[in-house]
């Protein structure tokens, strides 16, 4: 799905904001999405069509989606793919009515988390997603499939890799365009990442694979490097390291987009993102949210050094 050597899939406006209690207004969200697109992020998860009483931060997703149908964000690489998280039939109807062209379905490896998150067992969610996929294809939507708790569940603990692989295979069988493999609570390590990714890649190649790491224990970047070395070229990340699922206790933010972009930039791997523009967007967002930057080391260094014209921070 990527035209660049690596694809960064920015989940900040959805995964990043969904866990924030303080509601960011619609105008600020529109500004944020536009600024991220202008920084060169081609894939943006803009919102979710979940129950607004369950995730109040996402209540204005219709308004956001409708705005961007009329006014697509300007992106130096051409069009921006605007993705929306969809939990069920009602969510899909709302997405289609709002003009969405790219949607993401989601389930988990563990029943306990899935029930807390969407009120269904994993098997029940596949029954629903099968129908959702038929309807999505009728409307020519691109579909991404998330599988959460691949390396660990907040309620069930460690997950047997063989079991995780079965669920990941099932998501691929559904016919998703991209599979996002999720460490929802940030417990994975590079060896565990290899244990899951190596057999999956042997069987299916890397083209459809993406990884989604949360950084609860500081292992997200190491896990991303392990994934890269195994051939993965699509990485989910969230600006400023914001993020977390409100139904996964103990989960901290996502892998910070700044940390990941810095890492690729310094390794000479083109990901199409203007580092300075990304950092400036995050600084402005944190200012608007009256929040302190604490999750992204690269962003902290940018803020400390940017007036000194440091070669690393531009």
Which sequence positions are flagged as catalytic? 245
Which one, 91 or 241, has the nearer CB to ligand HMG?
Answer: 91
Footprint of ligand HMG on residues 85-104 (CB under 6 A)? 85, 87-88, 90-91, 94
Task: Tell me, rounded to whole angstroms, the distance of Cα 265 from its chain centroid.
Answer: 20
User: CA angle, corner 237, sides to 234 and 238, nearest 5?
Assistant: 155
Site string for ligand HMG, 17-56 (x = CB under 6 A): -x-----------------------------xxxx--xx-
Q: Name the 3-class secondary structure at 180.
A: strand
CB 107, CB 147: distance < 8 Å: yes
Q: How big is the chain by its Cα radius of gyration, in Å?
A: 18
Residues 6+ apart with CB under 8 A from 138: none
Site string for Mg ion, 10-49 (x = CB under 5 A): -----x----------------------------------
Which one, 159 or 299, has the nearer CB to ligand HMG?
Answer: 159
Alpha carbons within 13 angstroms on the beta-carbon side of residue 66 total 9
Report if residue 106 touches ligand HMG, rule: CB under 6 A: yes
Q: How far is the CB of 207 from ligand HMG (least distance, A)?
A: 20
Q: Is the dihedral of CA 82, 117, 252, 176 positive or negative?
A: negative
Q: How far apart are CA 187 and CA 219, in angstroms?
A: 8
Options 7-15, 155-163, 216-224, 286-294: segment touching Mg ion (CB under 5 A) = 7-15
Which one, 128 or 284, has the nearer CB to ligand HMG?
Answer: 128
Footprint of ligand HMG on residues 212-251 (CB under 6 A)? 212, 214, 245, 247
C-alpha distances in Å from residue 111, one per residue of 90, 156, 214, 309: 22, 9, 20, 50
- Which residues contact ligand HMG (rule: CB under 6 A)? 15, 18, 48-51, 54-55, 85, 87-88, 90-91, 94, 106, 117-119, 146, 148, 182, 184, 212, 214, 245, 247
């Amino acid at each position: 799905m990527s035209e660049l050597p690596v694809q960064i899939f920015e989940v900040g406006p959805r995964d990043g904001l969904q866990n924030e209690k303080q509601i960011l207004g619609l105008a600020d969200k529109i500004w944020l999405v536009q600024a991220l697109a202008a920084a060169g992020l081609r894939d943006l998860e803009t919102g979710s069509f979940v129950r607004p009483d369950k995730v109040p931060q996402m209540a204005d997703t219709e308004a956001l989606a409708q705005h961007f149908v009329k006014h697509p964000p300007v992106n130096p690489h051409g069009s921006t793919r605007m993705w929306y998280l969809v939990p069920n039939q009602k969510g899909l109807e709302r997405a289609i009515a709002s003009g969405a062209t790219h949607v993401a379905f989601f389930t988990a490896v563990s029943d306990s988390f899935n029930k807390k998150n969407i009120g269904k067992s994993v098997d029940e969610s596949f029954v629903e997603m099968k129908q959702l996929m038929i309807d999505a294809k009728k409307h020519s939507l691109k579909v991404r499939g998330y599988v959460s708790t691949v390396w660990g569940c907040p309620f069930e603990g460690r997950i047997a890799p063989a079991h995780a692989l079965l669920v990941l295979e099932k998501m691929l069988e559904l016919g998703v365009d991209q599979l996002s493999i999720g460490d929802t609570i940030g417990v994975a390590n590079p060896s565990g990442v290899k244990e899951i990714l190596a057999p999956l890649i042997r069987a299916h190649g890397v083209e459809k694979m993406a990884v989604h790491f949360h950084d609860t224990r500081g292992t997200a970047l190491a896990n991303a490097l392990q994934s890269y070395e195994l051939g993965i070229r699509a990485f989910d990340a969230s600006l400023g390291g914001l993020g977390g699922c409100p139904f996964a206790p103990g989960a901290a933010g996502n892998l910070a987009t700044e940390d990941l972009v810095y890492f690729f930039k310094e390794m000479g791997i083109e990901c199409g993102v203007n580092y300075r523009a990304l950092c400036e967007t995050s600084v402005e967002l944190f200012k608007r949210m009256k929040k302190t930057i604490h999750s992204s080391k690269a962003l902290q260094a940018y803020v400390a050094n940017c007036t000194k014209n440091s070669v690393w921070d531009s």
